[in-house]
């Protein structure tokens, strides 16, 4: 991974250059492909039970590994319309983005931008003003993804937390698969259970969970040699 994106938000979104971590994301992707089939999961949403579990970092690194692994054309979408962040990470314009594609029928070529990384494009959240509680619908998301599908091999969506708003559940019903990111030693079991229940009720296909922010008692310099 050659580029270190700009970083200007409260909780850092990190593009890891550590080979071991990159291999971890590659392993996650391989397990999904092995269990689900090569062509069945083209769009995957990353979400969490509560805010601050590192979803954006997971989505970013998963997208980067996917773009590097086999030359696939990958689109990373910031579907967290209430608290967008990926445009800050890449230093791209957020005036037109996913919200404009969803609600204003804006041409994709105006909204999608080059990330600066090979085979990886970004669709920022955008600034289109809309009553999300009234207009955010599964059909709108599905129609937008259908417009994108022909241009990309893989679509990764960075989404808001499931229990914060209904947005994540709405998006989950329109994508091929959902990955639930869980922050170790932080999120209570009953909150995770509630998030999974909401996802399943929306018709989401949960492809797995990722344990994030795990603290190791072994020093990193030693752990990386194991």
66-77, pLDDT tens digit by residue?
998 878 899 999
Residue pLDDT, tens place only, 169-201: 999 999 999 999 998 777 788 999 999 999 999
Domain ranges of the chain: 19-223
pTM for the model: 0.86
Question: What confidence tier does 217 reach under pLDDT thresholds 50, 70, 90?
Answer: very low
Residue pLDDT, tens place only, 122-156: 999 998 877 777 777 899 899 999 989 889 999 99
Average predicted confidence (pLDDT) for the chain: 85
Question: Side by side, which strands form the sheet with 43-48?
Answer: 113-117, 120-123, 74-78, 154-158, 43-48, 177-183, 206-212
Residue pLDDT, tens place only, 75-101: 999 999 999 999 999 999 999 999 999
What CATH number was assigned to the domain covering residues 19-223?
A: 3.40.50.300
Range of weakest confidence among 52-61, 75-84, 135-144, 158-167:
135-144
Helices 55-69 and 19-36 pack at an angle, to 10 degrees, of 80
């Amino acid at each position: 991974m050659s580029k270190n994106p700009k970083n200007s938000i409260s909780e850092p979104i990190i593009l890891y250059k550590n080979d071991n971590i990159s291999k971890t994301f590659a392993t996650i992707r391989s397990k999904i492909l092995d269990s689900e089939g090569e062509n069945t999961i083209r769009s995957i949403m990353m979400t969490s039970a509560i805010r601050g579990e590192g979803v954006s970092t997971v989505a970013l690194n998963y997208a980067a590994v996917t773009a590097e692994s086999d030359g696939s054309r990958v689109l990373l979408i910031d579907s967290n319309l209430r608290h967008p962040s990926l445009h800050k990470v890449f230093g791209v314009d957020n005036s037109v983005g996913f919200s404009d594609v969803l609600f204003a029928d804006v041409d994709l070529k105006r909204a999608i931008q080059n990330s600066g990384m090979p085979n990886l494009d970004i669709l920022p959240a955008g600034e289109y003003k809309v009553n999300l509680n009234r207009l955010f619908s599964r059909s709108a998301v599905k129609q937008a993804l259908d417009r994108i599908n022909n241009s990309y091999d893989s679509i990764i969506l960075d989404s808001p937390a499931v229990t914060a708003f209904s947005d994540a559940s709405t998006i989950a019903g329109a994508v091929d698969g959902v990955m639930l990111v869980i922050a170790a030693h932080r999120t209570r079991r009953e909150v995770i259970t509630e998030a999974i229940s909401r996802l399943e009720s929306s018709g989401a296909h949960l492809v797995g969970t990722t344990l994030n922010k795990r603290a190791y008692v072994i020093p990193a310099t030693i752990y990386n040699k194991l």
